[in-house]
Amino acid sequence: MTTGNNLSDYEKEKDTFQWSDVEKVFSWHQTGKVNVAYECVDRHVEEGRGDKIALSYSDPVRSENITYEQLKQHSNRFANLLKRLHIEKGDRVFIFLPRTPEFYASFFGVLKIGAVVGPLFEAFMTAAVQDRLDNSEAVALVTTPQLLKRVPVDQLPHLKKIILVGGEDNQQLGHYSFEKGVFQESSDFSMEWVDLEHPMIIHYTSGSTGKPKGVLHVHHAMIQHYQTGKWVLDLNSDDIYWCTADPGWVTGTSYGIFAPWLNGVTNVIRGGRFSPDDWYQTLETNKVTVWYSAPTAFRMLMGAGDEVVEKYDLSNVRHIMSVGEPLNPEVIRWGLQVYKKRIHDTWWMTETGGIVIANYPQMEIRPGSMGRPIPGVHAAIIDDNGLELPPNTMGHLAVKTPWPSLMRSIWNNPEKYKEYFQIPGWYVSGDTAYQDEDGYFWFQGREDDVINTSGERVGPFEVESKLVEHPAVAEAGVIGKPDELRGQIIKAFIALRDGYAPSEELKKEIAAFVKSGLAAHASPREIEFKDKLPKTRSGKIMRRVLKAWELGLPAGDLSTLED
């Protein structure tokens, strides 16, 4: 499958490219002081593009076009409100909102005062919200009265100010109406200029052990968002771009906010739930030219059938990309047939902050491969000693440190941060892969127990911790079970407490308990009751053995099993 183009552009850039050249695009190249919100929004106004539509928002009941000038003003008003509430540079301000225009105005308002923004996925329930606000010591939260019910305010001593979209002032409770507050403020704001290494955003993500980790990125990351926006997303100023990811996840910020707005395009945001008709209608109505989504979504669209595609005019779509989980060759072939476009896979992680490996528009696509590293970043397959392995040899997928959008710390957890860098000179991703003779990377799997369900990263520990809070559950072990549609589904093995009998009813009740306490996507789709779970002598549940049971494979070394 070739695009008719050759690799020469890519090769040329690869040899000559310097990140310092990208810095010259930005005003801070001279001043040394930066603010990503300025580069995403205000700069376009100053350069005469204020009337251009920045945000084209719609959901089933609301539809709004917001120009760059308006986005500047809205975010300025919000920044002024934060100032009036004495929120300071460096403070963590979380946004727990659906992806509405208020989300994006708040997001840039937080950045404009030099505070650190923490986007929270709208579907999070109490335990997930609490862990994140608590760990980050967030001082302010933007949310709605509905979602506030999931915020255990009494348990969060640092959280002093709550700004409510569609809510009322209540000084005693520290509640402030978003609408009233913003209305009172001036639309002029004097930008807080910060250092390149100043913290910008925290995304919580899961490992195989412990609570979610607060991955911290700094303003300097913008050069990678900007440049990959050009190279990989192929953004030109007249593009209409749609990234389907929620801003609670890193794709929804790096490529749902930063990359498109740094490149000055019109950014389409669609609220509401997934449905094939709704998505195709969104592509058609907005005349989307560049579309970034995920394998599970493409598989669902494929499952919905070609007839649905044929109802819509998708002729404006020029470029399609995917991220988050393995993209099946079959889906690429189907995409070529119905969209008449190749779906370009990309690889990166919350921790890498931006795209590291990609299929460029002008590259030959090898279906099943994630592509090749972007210029300016050296990704490789290495062994345990950090030696680069020859082609077609499986090993650790690693990236040579540093690069601009690499995370700068794990919030409040320097030990966890160090774990990624145990092989000197390398960031070790936790993925296994191999490279072919031409440098294309082929994903093989995860080295740890992290679950990837529908492209959402779930830590088994977080789910297990919730499960054992249920009165019937004595012990729980959670694994990812291969699934055609979702990549993996969450499967829980559970040993019940005395007095509880296994039943289908109980399975449903336990699944609902996780759904309402943690998040719908973290709830096990399958539960199997066992009399006892395999544990090490020190009492740790051996997920490896659970996986072997599930797949009917040999369980490997059992010398540490308790009996």
For residue 462, the surrounding DSSP H or E stretch is: helix 460-467
Q: Is residue 405 at the binding interface for ligand PRX, with CB under 6 A as the rule?
A: no
Q: How many Cβ atoms sit within 10 Å of the Cβ of residue 383?
A: 13
Point out which span in 37-45, 130-138, 423-431, 541-549 binds ligand PRX (CB under 6 A).
423-431
Q: Is residue 427 at the binding interface for ligand PRX, with CB under 6 A as the rule?
A: no
Query: Residue 36 or residue 398: which is nearer to ligand PRX going by CB?
Result: 398
Q: Is residue 429 at the binding interface for ligand PRX, with CB under 6 A as the rule?
A: yes
CB of 292 to ligand PRX, least distance (A): 11
Point out which span in 148-156, 277-285, 341-349, 462-470 binds ligand PRX (CB under 6 A).
341-349
Backbone angles phi, psi at 259, to 5 degrees: -60, -50
> What single-letter DSSP state applies at residue 235?
-
Point out which span in 42-50, 318-326, 534-542, 548-556 binds ligand PRX (CB under 6 A).
318-326
Point out which span in 160-168, 339-347, 375-383, 552-560 binds ligand PRX (CB under 6 A).
339-347
Q: Is residue 256 at the binding interface for ligand PRX, with CB under 6 A as the rule?
A: no
**Encoded amino acid at 61, one letter:** V
CB of 77 to ligand PRX, least distance (A): 32
DSSP-assigned beta bridge partners for residue 541:
535
Q: Is residue 347 at the binding interface for ligand PRX, with CB under 6 A as the rule?
A: yes
CB of 215 to ligand PRX, least distance (A): 8
For ligand PRX, which residue of 144, 350, 405, 435 counts as binding (CB under 6 A)?
A: 350
Query: Residue 151 or residue 379: which is nearer to ligand PRX going by CB?
Result: 379
For ligand PRX, which residue of 324, 335, 353, 534 counts as binding (CB under 6 A)?
A: 324
Q: Are 147 and 126 in contact (CB under 8 A)?
A: no
B/e letters for 152-171, b = 16+ CB within 10 Å, e = fewer, are ebeebeebbbbbbbebeeee
Window 177 to 206, contacts with ligand PRX (CB under 6 A): 205
Three-state SS at 53: strand
Of 249, 258, 288, 250, nearest to 270 by C-alpha is 288
Q: Is residue 325 at the binding interface for ligand PRX, with CB under 6 A as the rule?
A: yes
Q: Is residue 252 at the binding interface for ligand PRX, with CB under 6 A as the rule?
A: no
CA distances 276 to 181, 256, 306, 337, Å, are 38, 20, 11, 17
Query: Residue 293 or residue 350: which is nearer to ligand PRX going by CB?
Result: 350
Give the dihedral sign, CA 286/291/296/298: positive
CB of 441 to ligand PRX, least distance (A): 9
290-293 and 456-458 beta bridge pairing: unpaired
Rounded CA gap, 187 and 50, in Å? 14
- The CB-nearest residue to ligand PRX is 350
Point out which span in 57-65, 178-186, 192-200, 343-351 binds ligand PRX (CB under 6 A).
343-351
DSSP string, 256-296: IIIHHHHTT-EEEEE-S---HHHHHHHHHHHT--EEEE-HH
Query: Residue 370 or residue 380: which is nearer to ligand PRX going by CB?
Result: 370
Of 74, 73, 67, nearest to 50 by C-alpha is 67
Please report, as ranges, the residues that interact with ligand PRX according to CB under 6 A: 205, 250-251, 323-326, 345-350, 370, 429-431, 443, 446, 452, 457
